[in-house]
Chain A
Amino acid sequence: MSVLGDPQASTATVQAAPPSAHKRRRHWGRAVLPTYSWLVIAYLVFPIAIMIMYSFNKVVGGQPLVSFSWNGFTTEWYQKWSSVPGLTSAFWLSIRLAVVATIVATILGTLLAVALVRYHPPRFRGKTVVEQVLFLNIAAPEIVMGASLLGLFVTLNINRGFLTLVLAHVMFSIAYVTVTVRARMAGFDRALEEAAYDLGATPLVTFMRVTLPLIMPGVLAGALMAFALSIDDFVTSNFLSGTSVPFPVWVYGATRVGIPPQVFVFGAAIFTVGIGFAVLSIVISKKKV
């Protein structure tokens, strides 16, 4: 509490603040800040509105590529959503990749989180090292991780493709899953597990039927995080994709030649599904509490 400066100040009991200070607070809080905040929110939403708007933009001229100018409203691109072969297959590849990476990262990350919550240094040597590696993994620049993985795969003569993408996506998702699960495990009542043991359950049965159901909200939150990280990843995937090109890498490649309007259709679809899941998880977490 050194911020208060005078040590005696902190012992003062809370009394009614001078009314003038409160009034000015309220006034400021009521007028300027909310306006400003809504402007920031508008700024954050604005490009998304533009994306959805351009997914309805007509194309004039030969090639079906989006143009900067507005040419009129059409739902053509929603009807022809799958008519760009490379884009559609890249999208499905991204989905498969995200599903596989999420499953693996969620299992590994959850096990690690359980170990970190439950065991401490005398019984768990090297715990601090593990924690520092997780921190480094979250904070290190992605371009360096992607480049170094590419260097490793080239040195070991491993062909780039779906497998290397899975290896990398799991690598950068584990830390986020672990951190998320760990945060939600705070306040976990170990007596419930003790009770299961006392009633003769084996460790595996206890884990599957007592521990896992209890930590499930955290595990699901971690899985959503891993899925979002994987499906949006560009930098690492660009280094490691080789012949199997995920959605963001395909779109990036398309910026050089021109973007088919379907890219924005997929963007709008991913946005809608993502927001749906987010709202759903907020609603569920509210009901649980």
Chain B
Amino acid sequence: MTEPRSRGGWGKRLAPYLLSLPAGLWLLLLFIVPLGAMLVMSLETCSPATGACVMTWHWGELPSVVSLYRAQFLTSFYFAAAATLADLVISFPIAYWIAFHGGRRKNFFLLMLLVPFFVSFIIRTIVWEFVLSNNGVVLHTLKNFHLLPHGFHVLGTGFAVVAGLAYNYLPFTALPLYVALERIDYRILEAAYDLYATRRAGFLRVILPLTVPGIFAAFLLTFIPAFGDYVNQEILGGTANTMVGTVVQNQFLVNLDYAGGASLSAVLLAISLVGIFLYARLLGSRTIEQYL
């Protein structure tokens, strides 16, 4: 692409920068600078009495934060991992079906995949509380027909949290998988069958390898938000099994311990950055755009 000959000199030369300046400035001041400030704050020590913070370069605080909230980090990890895995398993077949057998109704099915997003995140989670509650329509009915023992309950357990997370983030998994599957050239598959590949081999050696980037994108877009989530745990999980997001929220909004909250967030960010950098290295940061 060659640019048109110098038309207007300076203005033309500055055009790319002028066009990206407002958005760039906005992101610099309200995204990059706060993240940097948070990293700085995580190395400070604040006095709980006055709220004044002093830079103490407390690198040692970051590992100690992890060991202090080890239980919450592990809970977040297990819940997010379980929900992500469940989402991958649940959505792969339907993404496959829409991609290869959706026909003219593809748009309709895609809309159906996105349908949870048309209800507020908070309301969706509350509705799961209704669905899973002991007196709610589902469990109550099942118990009336003696399909479940009367003491059976789901609400307040880790299972309820994972179920809520899996439901809330399912579209983030299903869409990247669909995009990756949809792009597969069907002729490659036919070539494999022509060469007497079994259906199993066709799936394992053609389809699956070609969907790996989509699986990675799905993992990134599901696991990271699920890991930082605390709404599902607070509404569906009761008082046990606190996730790390709850601690961050309480540090900032209840205890007003900004340095403590910042250290925790810094660790949370560092964990996410591992996945983010790995993705950018292996697949390139721009590829994520295809999966949104």
Contacts and interface: CB of A to CB of B under 8 A. Distances in A.
B131 A47 contact: yes
Interface in A227-251: 228, 231-232, 234-235, 238-239, 247-248, 251
A79 interface: no
Interface residues of B, number: 112
Contact of B120 (A28, A68, A270): A270
B94 A4 contact: no
A151 B262 contact: yes
A170 interface: yes
B16 A123 contact: yes
A218 interface: no
Nearest to A67: B135
Interface string B218-237: 00110011011111001100
A232 B101 CA distance: 32
B85 interface: no
Given A40-B94, A133-B27, A144 B269 contact: yes
A226 to B, nearest CB: 12
A259 B126 contact: yes
A144 B268 contact: yes
Nearest to A3: B209
Contacts of A112: 19-20, 22-24
In the complex, which of the residues B17, B134, B228, B235 has the most CB atoms of chain A within 10 Å of its own CB atom? B228
Majority DSSP secondary structure for residues of B touching A? helix
A47 B7 CA distance: 58
B117 A232 contact: yes
Contacts of A152: 30, 33-34, 37-38
Contacts of B228: 141-144, 235
Interface in A33-57: 33-34, 36-37, 40-41, 43-48, 50-51, 53-54
Contact of A147 (B1, B198, B231, B252): B252
B13 interface: yes
A92 interface: no
A83 interface: no
B192 interface: yes
A40 B174 CA distance: 11
B285 A147 contact: no
Contacts of B276: 135-136, 139-140
A75 B22 CA distance: 48
A45 B120 contact: no
In the complex, which of the residues B23, B96, B193 has the most CB atoms of chain A within 10 Å of its own CB atom? B23
Contacts of B255: none
Contact of A239 (B123, B253, B279): B253
Interface string A56-97: 000000000011111000000000000000000000000000
Contacts of A278: 111, 114, 118
Contact of A33 (B97, B187, B196): B97
Given A68-B135, A176-B292, A111 B235 contact: no
Given A139-B276, A141-B225, A144-B35, A114 B206 contact: no
Contacts of B97: 29, 33-34, 36-37
A165 B128 CA distance: 28
A218 to B, nearest CB: 13
B65 to A, nearest CB: 14
Contact of A171 (B17, B30, B94, B114): B30
B27 A171 contact: yes
Contacts of B206: 3-4
B242 interface: no
Interface string A177-199: 01110110000000000100100
Interface in A103-135: 107-109, 111-112, 114-116, 118-120, 123-124, 127, 130-135
B101 A120 contact: no
Contacts of B131: 46-47, 50
Nearest to A11: B191
Interface of A: 1, 3-5, 9-10, 12, 14-18, 21-22, 24-25, 28-29, 33-34, 36-37, 40-41, 43-48, 50-51, 53-54, 66-70, 107-109, 111-112, 114-116, 118-120, 123-124, 127, 130-145, 147-152, 154-155, 167-168, 170-171, 174-176, 178-180, 182-183, 194, 197, 203, 228, 231-232, 234-235, 238-239, 247-248, 251-252, 255, 259, 263-264, 267, 270-271, 274-275, 278-279, 282
List 7 tightest A-B contacts by C-beta distance, closest first. A115-B19, A119-B16, A141-B228, A135-B285, A148-B34, A124-B16, A148-B38
